[in-house]
Amino acid sequence: MAEAASAVVESTAPIAPTPAVGGGLPGLVAQAYEAACDPAGLQRFVSDATAYFGADSGAYVIWPALTEADPVAIRHNFPDAPLSVLADPGDAPASLLGRIRAAQPGAVIPDHGPPPPGWPAGEILIGVVDNHSPNHCALIFLARRGFSGAACESLQHLLVFLRRATDVNKRFVQLFANYQVALHIMDSVSRGIMVFGQQGQLIYVNAEAKRIIQGDNGINAAEGQLLLGCDIAKSMIDDFLERARAQEDTERGPVTQGIRIEREDGHGAFQLLLFSVPCKASRAALNPDEALAVGIVHDPSNGVLPGSDLLAVFFGLTPAEADLTRALCSGLSVQEIAEELSVSVHTARTHLRNIFAKVGVHSQHALVQRISQSLYDASQSRSPLK
């Protein structure tokens, strides 16, 4: 009986941290930084942190600061009821949510009082990770036996590193978002873009460059290397990359060079414009995928015409004038355009005079040249001829 009583006394004592769990506090710190780079690792971090602090359940909870959206929680044995109550600011636990939002990042909030309605019996231990926009973040642990002062102190130490890891995560998220936007933009342009690494290997090609490579008409690629049917052009690219590699002074502008690459079918040659990307040799030595140069490829056979709707916007044309302009730029004669659009030649010529006046040119050649310099790729907005 005495042994049983002793066991009961031990089970109701406040819980101290368990150093052996998850590698102790240093292990949790390491996990916090890993979770910043790997969201799936956050689940492991919450599970091990719950065990380390001897809690029955734990959660990493994120509240959007600028909207009324429900909180997002990464949980370990954490019940649904407390989260739903926390999500409702009008309920009795609003004071708890208010305390979290009002606290400074890094604050530890032990709640030894009666649990809020909807919460399980026991004590609540909260660590405020971040209270700045766009999100509020907090670690919440629940334990029937309560938490010791040592647990509060350990959580305060952990929060220092968790906050730093959260800042790292924010930077990664922003960098990745910017990266996705950049990829979308580069895949939308009508010129091929190739990025060369330090060994001359291709480390990136956009959608247009892939199309050119797949055409295998003087430009190809295999195993990350650019292959050209023209030996002179290949030698010129190799020489350029060597000069770019030797460029140490990042204060100077980039080295540039234009190269003509003949097609195997004998049609208009590709036009390649190379730009160096200055980089410190010490950094390049550690990362062979550090960008060395960028190549922009123009395929003269890939005509770029804005859609009729964009021509109307850019140059103030009527829908009929925009359709005629686009048809003219595609190589049709005024007679052919009149037939295509089901109008008389006289009407087509009247439209053409109005177009000249609006675009500010005096000949069909000048009109085609001006339109070819327009901003947007036809693939983004293509209006068929009527």
DSSP state of 254: P
Which CATH superfamily is 2-178 part of? GAF domain (3.30.450.40)
> What is the model's pLDDT at position 318?
95
Q: Parallel, antiparallel, or unpaired: how do β-strands 123-130 and 256-261 relate?
A: unpaired
Name residue, tokens 């000249």. 356
Taking the domains of the chain in order of start, what are their residue ranges?
Answer: 2-178, 189-298, 308-380
> What is the model's pLDDT at position 214?
94
**DSSP labels, 77-131:** S--HHHHHHHT-TTSTTHHHHHHHHHSPTT-EEEE-SPPPTTSPSSEEEEEEEE-
> What is the model's pLDDT at position 9?
32
The CATH label, of 3.40.630.30, 3.30.450.20, 3.20.20.210, 3.40.50.1970, for the domain at 189-298 is 3.30.450.20
Q: What is the pLDDT of residues 184-217, one digit of tens each?
A: 999 988 889 999 999 999 999 999 999 999 999 9
> What is the model's pLDDT at position 16?
54
> What is the model's pLDDT at position 216?
92
The CATH label, of 1.10.1060.10, 1.10.287.10, 1.10.10.10, 3.90.580.10, for the domain at 308-380 is 1.10.10.10
Same CATH topology for 189-298 and 308-380? no
What is the reported pTM? Answer: 0.63
What is residue 50's three-state secondary structure? helix
Ranges under pLDDT 70 in the chain = 1-23, 36-39, 66-68, 85-95, 133, 248-253, 303-304, 373-386
Task: Count helices and strands (H / E) in the chain.
Answer: 14, 12
Amino acid at 21: V
